[in-house]
Chain A
Amino acid sequence: MALNVAVIIKLEPDFSEGNVSYNPDGTLNRAETKNTLGPHSAIAAQAAFYAKVMHDAKVSIGTMGPPIADLALQQAQQISDADELHLYSDKLFAGADTLATAEVLKTGIKKMQGKMDIVFSGHRASDGETGQTGPQAAWKLGFTFLGNVISYELNLETRTIRAKRMISLQGFPDVIEEVEAPLPVFISIDPSFKSNFNTVSQRLAFQKYQKAATEKAKNYKDYLKIFNAKELGVDETLVGLPGSPTIVYKVERVPKSTATRRAEVVNGSDPVQLQKVVGRMKEALSAMVIK
């Protein structure tokens, strides 16, 4: 039986050296920083590609963003051999918080070809970093949400998924939880997700689809559909600023903390001074620890 999977992705600042630019005060210089497919979005696209290689899934990708976000769709298509690319782009979507973004993505996913069995999202965006949009889109779709998934296997006869989830909690050791759920599900992919192709036939399929992906990505515009608010058919009061419960009220520099330690400044090229530093380090290490 056929399998349909979707991925939601995001165009983000490119934090790699040479592409990222910081202001002298240490904040991100957005105007000078290049944009790219977010690293967590790329992992979500890999997770969809796994479904393609293993089960010949149809892959659809959606993103909300400005017209230039088609670059991220192209990059994600190259990774996942996607068959359908959606860009949701409208001035009305601007200023959206996670709830209003989730509304657009939910509506878009419903417009993709075929009924979705799995939707993938990344762990969190590297600029916004909330990690809320995925689960909120899942809830609006009415899909079972599985977070922090590090690997998964599908059984298409029973239409079920088995997934391993990584749970990290403060003060407790990490736990890997294995769960089973009927499709459809919405998965947010953990950064440590790995897809393994163990058999020869899987590796051959991998190569075949990878080749196809390169071809498709060259002509990505043939697969691309752009929707404005009207074409998407969203309720305009649920998207963009009107649909956002939260606003950014102010942005400020984090106040410089008052010095908690009185630093002694030492010239790093002076061996005599470094000799003293090591002496102090030695002293610190010999201190008694009373806990």
Chain B
Amino acid sequence: MVENYRHLYVIIEHEDGKFLPVSLEMLGEARRLLDNFNKKYSTKEKVVAVILGHNIKNISKQLIEYGADAVIFSDNPELKNVRNTIYTKVISQIAQDSKTLAEVEPEYASEIKRPRYMFFAADSVGRHLSSTVLAELESGLASDINKLVVEDIELSHQQKTAGKKETYAKTLEMYRPDFSGFLWTTILCLDNRNPAFKRDYHPQACSIIPGVFEPIKPDSSRQGKIIEFVPTIDEQDLKVKILSRKIIESEVDFDTPRTIVSFGRGIKDEPEQNIKIIEKLAKALNAEIGITLPISKKPFVVSSALDSKYMIPDRVIGTSGHKTSPLLYIAVGVSGAMQHVWGMKDSGFVVAINPDEEAPIRNECNIFIKGRMEDVIPLLIEEIKKQMQIVEA
């Protein structure tokens, strides 16, 4: 059977010639996924890294070491910083340019039309870029993915297959955790085979949560093709002028402190009072304060001083925020949703304070203090003051 879609394209992000960690993580996962894929289907589809920028030819080669079979790069002063319109146009051109597709794999030159799969980073850049590229390519996109599997899927769907049972071969199952962290939704991007509105939907694309996948160990003996794509740049696509770029230092520091105290929805009985108690605990331990994702959605009404200081996205620990690894991590009223656990599981020693012994956080801590935070924390602070002056000094 002739297939018009082959390969997995990974859109690489970099800042001043340094790759973002997520770019290498995506390449690692792409490598593992396609190694299995090629074995299973006895084929030789490629991991293709796509990188745009200025003076990037040299760093492009490194992407081979991190798992790419081919790198397509576009080097142009207009691509120095990411601007959505021109980046969307160039990536879409790369995904459809027959000459470039032929260079990736000459033996399929006459058949291949587009990539089969595409990965973007689920960050400030990739989230929007993936949206606009897939709007341009008119195909499907799932966001914030943390697990990927390729399967032949048999299903009947009222719209997609007009209710008939059909097999969708080589379908990418894209798993995304929901906001609660307790549900996993699998998204599929499927062609419409319904005769009433037949349509091909390729590439199957997703954005991937930073920090979830492991990069492979760079191997300088790996071989691959480096392909230059010279884009067509229209003045119309350069309307946005970047006037300045300023680095800002975050007020929240999760890297230096040896202790982090985090809180979740368990503060609900008396949010204002409980945050103040947690502040005291953090002060006694010289700790930074973190929160779970639901707290950043401001579910409780507290004084504006506490609200603007603590219930902010910058303090979120977990896949939607920071990954931390302090010596001591104290989780107060935190249930232990998967996303949050990802952000704290590398901590040295973990203490949880929670009245519910069944809370999943119990599986992630060294000591589980069963009790209400209102009762436990004051006792704990008293004890800390007795025992730990030396640590504070």
Is B187 touching A286 in the complex (CB atoms < 8 A)? no
A258: interface (CB < 8 Å): yes
Is A268 touching B244 in the complex (CB atoms < 8 A)? no
Partner of B388, one of A169, A258, A274, A282: A282
Given A132-B131, A245-B140, A246-B140, CB of A278 within 8 Å of CB of B197: no
Q: Which residues of B contact A181 (CB under 8 A)?
A: 239-241
Report how far A280 CA is from B380 CA in the complex, Å: 12
A129: interface (CB < 8 Å): yes
Partner of A20, one of B144, B182, B299, B350: B299
Is B187 touching A248 in the complex (CB atoms < 8 A)? yes
Is B335 touching A26 in the complex (CB atoms < 8 A)? yes
Is A254 touching B140 in the complex (CB atoms < 8 A)? no
Partner of B367, one of A20, A257, A264: A264
Q: Which of A61-69, A134-142, A226-234 contacts B (4 or more CB under 8 A)?
A: A134-142
A215: interface (CB < 8 Å): no
Report how far A17 CA is from B297 CA in the complex, Å: 11
Is B21 touching A170 in the complex (CB atoms < 8 A)? yes
B103: interface (CB < 8 Å): no
* A252-264 interface bits toward B, Cβ cutoff 8 Å, 1 = contact, 0 = none: 1110111111111
Is B135 touching A135 in the complex (CB atoms < 8 A)? yes
* Nearest CB in chain B to that of A278: its residue: B383
Q: Which of A238-272 contact B (CB under 8 A)?
A: 241-242, 244-254, 256-269, 271
Q: Which residues of A contact B197 (CB under 8 A)?
A: 237, 242
Interface residues on A, range: 35 or more
Is A246 touching B246 in the complex (CB atoms < 8 A)? no
Is A174 touching B250 in the complex (CB atoms < 8 A)? yes
A147: interface (CB < 8 Å): yes
Q: Which of A52-60, A74-82, A97-105 contacts B (4 or more CB under 8 A)?
A: A97-105
Partner of B363, one of A26, A138, A263: A263
B59: interface (CB < 8 Å): no
Partner of B187, one of A242, A249, A263, A268: A249
Is A179 touching B243 in the complex (CB atoms < 8 A)? yes
A178: interface (CB < 8 Å): yes
How close is A249's CB to chain B, nearest CB, in angstroms? Answer: 4
Q: Which of B21, B85, B350 has most chain A Cβ within 10 Å?
A: B85
Q: Which of A109-117, A160-168, A217-225 contacts B (4 or more CB under 8 A)?
A: A160-168
Is B240 touching A179 in the complex (CB atoms < 8 A)? yes
* Nearest CB in chain B to that of A242: its residue: B197
How close is B286's CB to chain A, nearest CB, in angstroms? Answer: 10
Q: Which residues of B contact A28 (CB under 8 A)?
A: 178-180
Q: Which residues of A contact B380 (CB under 8 A)?
A: 274, 277-278
Is B189 touching A245 in the complex (CB atoms < 8 A)? yes
Q: Which residues of A contact B383 (CB under 8 A)?
A: 271, 274-275, 277-278
Is B371 touching A285 in the complex (CB atoms < 8 A)? no
Is B379 touching A271 in the complex (CB atoms < 8 A)? yes
Interface residues on B, range: 35 or more
Given A26-B182, A145-B128, A268-B371, CB of A17 within 8 Å of CB of B140: no
Is B85 touching A145 in the complex (CB atoms < 8 A)? yes
Q: Which residues of B contact A287 (CB under 8 A)?
A: 327, 348
Report how far A127 CA is from B141 CA in the complex, Å: 17
Q: Which residues of A contact B43 (CB under 8 A)?
A: none
Q: Which residues of A contact B188 (CB under 8 A)?
A: 246-247, 249
B153: interface (CB < 8 Å): yes
Q: Which residues of B contact A282 (CB under 8 A)?
A: 387-388, 391
Is A285 touching B258 in the complex (CB atoms < 8 A)? yes
* B158-179 interface bits toward A, Cβ cutoff 8 Å, 1 = contact, 0 = none: 1110000000000001000111
Is A173 touching B247 in the complex (CB atoms < 8 A)? yes
How close is A117's CB to chain B, nearest CB, in angstroms? Answer: 14
Q: Which of A144-162 contact B (CB under 8 A)?
A: 144-148, 162
* Nearest CB in chain A to that of B330: its residue: A281
Q: Which residues of A contact B224 (CB under 8 A)?
A: none
State the A residues within 8 Å of B (CB).
15-17, 20, 22, 25-28, 39, 95, 97-99, 102, 126-127, 129-136, 138-140, 144-148, 162, 166-182, 188, 191, 237, 241-242, 244-254, 256-269, 271, 274-275, 277-287, 289
14 contacts between A and B (CB under 8 A): A27-B180, A39-B297, A129-B144, A131-B131, A132-B127, A174-B250, A178-B244, A188-B128, A242-B159, A254-B338, A268-B375, A274-B379, A274-B383, A278-B384
Starting from the known contacts A147-B127, A177-B81, 12 additional A-B residue pairs (CB-CB under 8 Å) come to A15-B297, A16-B298, A97-B140, A136-B135, A145-B132, A167-B124, A181-B241, A241-B158, A271-B379, A281-B349, A282-B387, A284-B327
State the B residues within 8 Å of A (CB).
13, 15, 20-22, 81, 84-85, 88, 121, 123-125, 127-128, 130-132, 134-136, 138-144, 153, 155, 157-160, 173, 177-190, 192, 194, 196-197, 199, 201, 210-211, 239-250, 258-259, 268, 271, 294, 297-301, 313, 327-328, 335, 337-338, 341, 345, 348-353, 357, 360, 362-372, 375-376, 379-380, 383-384, 386-388, 391
Which 3 residue pairs of A and B lie closest in terms of their CB atoms, listed nearest first?
A268-B371, A245-B140, A284-B349
